[in-house]
Amino acid sequence: MLHRIPTYIKRLDEILGGGLTSGEISLVYGEAETAKTTLAMQCAVNCARRGYKTLFIDCDGTFSTKRLSQIASEDFEKISELVILARPKDFKEQAALIDQLNNYVAKGFGLIVVDTLTFLYRIEVSEKPEKTFMLNRELNRQMAWLAQVAKTQKLAVLVMSQVRNVFEEGCVEVEPVATRVLKFWADTIIFMKPTENPQIVSLTITKKSKTTQPFSCQLQICKNGLCDYSLD
């Protein structure tokens, strides 16, 4: 069994205690272009390097084989066989796919990625605002089931979310879409923030099990994925 999926980003793995944890949900949220999908692909690649499959649920249709080949580098052929892509076209299809996860993932899977869990949800909410409450409950049901599958199948679940602006104490902050639902089910929460330099992102990592202050680090977006960044 795969207990941890390393990111192979030294500082991030130190903070995460070796990488993404099997049996748990990790939530990644942040503005556009903060390398959320890059991080997800990197985890899928490292999972494959350990011989385990990933079910990559590409809800926003941004999965790029070219980007995967940059990250997987010379192992691309071997790795691409272990990354199984699913593309739900609406929130209903996403729900059906998540409901049937046990039919897709079995022995040999180490990771499920949902990128982006709130993309099709947001479209549905904007088209049917009167159904927001019901849709939010449906999202909660999907997260609960993902948590259950993570535990029973002993694999890691990585959920990505977009952000929305909130006004707090006179300034604008961002938080994940459907923040209460997502944060309730996540064991680890990674917030990815842009910096003045478009190649550098700033991460804040909170672990539910730890009462310590959140951890933080800065990472660089490179050709073959995210890597450590330090000024010296």
Report the interface residues with ligand ATP, using CB under 6 A.
30, 32-38, 62, 67, 70, 221, 223
Distance CA 123, CA 221 (A): 29
- Using alpha carbons, select from 209, 180, 177, 174 the residue that is nearest to residue 192: 174
Residue 34 site contact among Mg ion, ligand ATP, none (CB < 5 to 8 Å, cut-off depends on kind)? ligand ATP
The span from the CA of 185 to the CA of 26, in Å, is 9
CB closer to ligand ATP out of 41 and 147: 41
| Minimum distance of Mg ion from residue 123's CB (angstroms) | 15
Cis amide linkage into residue 152, ω under 30° from 0: no
Nearer to ligand ATP, 107 or 223 (CB): 223
Which C-beta is closer to ligand ATP: that of 95 or that of 221?
221
The minimum distance between CB 71 and ligand ATP, in angstroms, equals 9
Which of positions 54-113 make contact with Mg ion (CB under 5 A)?
62
Does 37 help bind Mg ion (rule: CB under 5 A)?
Answer: yes
Measured from each CB, the residue nearest to Mg ion is: 37
Question: According to DSSP H, which parts of 176-218 are helical?
Answer: 179-185
* DSSP state, residue 35: S
Residue among 37 and 153 whose Cβ is closer to Mg ion: 37
Q: Using CB distances below 5 to 8 A depending on partner kind, what does residue 188 bind out of ligand ATP, Mg ion, none?
A: none
- Least gap, CB of 72 to ligand ATP (angstroms): 12
Backbone angles phi, psi at 134, to 5 degrees: -65, -40
Structure tokens given for 125: 């909410």
Cβ 177 vs Cβ 122: under 8 Å: yes
- The CB-of-209 to ligand ATP minimum distance in angstroms stands at 26
Q: Which is nearer to ligand ATP, 158 or 221 (CB)?
A: 221
- The C-alpha atoms of residue 59 and residue 57 are separated, in whole angstroms, by 6
Alpha-carbon span 188 to 140, nearest angstrom: 17
> Which of ligand ATP, Mg ion, none does residue 107 bind to, with CB < 5 to 8 Å depending on kind?
none
Cis upstream peptide for 65 (omega within 30°) = no
What is the binding site for Mg ion (CB under 5 A)?
36-37, 62
